[in-house]
Amino acid sequence: MLESKTKSIEAIEVREYAPGEIIVKEGTSNEFFYVILQGEVPIDQLDKYIRILKDRDVFGLGFYYRICPYSTTAKALQPS
């Protein structure tokens, strides 16, 4: 387990998303989990609004460790 956590830490990459850019799409494979450093990211499921994630929120972590497709779509609302 420590080895998999170490690999996750080594793979950290900071990315910036423009407003309207899709970060993850519902049903796609889960290669990453995300930490929002800055910005707002609405989460939708089946085209219905769930909530808005903000600074320091994390998403996709459960899917990352279970190796199952994302069940929601996340799109940047502002530079994120």
- Full-model pTM: 0.78
Q: Is residue 62 part of a domain?
A: yes
1-53 residue pLDDT tens = 546 555 566 768 889 999 999 999 999 888 788 999 999 999 999 989 999 99
Q: Is residue 9 part of a domain?
A: no
CA 4 to chain centre: 19
Q: Is residue 8 part of a domain?
A: no
How many domains does the structure of the chain reveal?
Answer: 1
Q: What is the CATH number of the domain that holds 41?
A: 2.60.120.10
Q: Is residue 60 part of a domain?
A: yes
Q: Which of 30, 40, 38 is nearest to 71 (CA)?
A: 30
Q: Is residue 21 part of a domain?
A: yes
Q: Is residue 6 part of a domain?
A: no
pLDDT of residue 21: 96
* pLDDT tier at 68, thresholds 50, 70, 90: confident
Q: Is residue 64 part of a domain?
A: yes
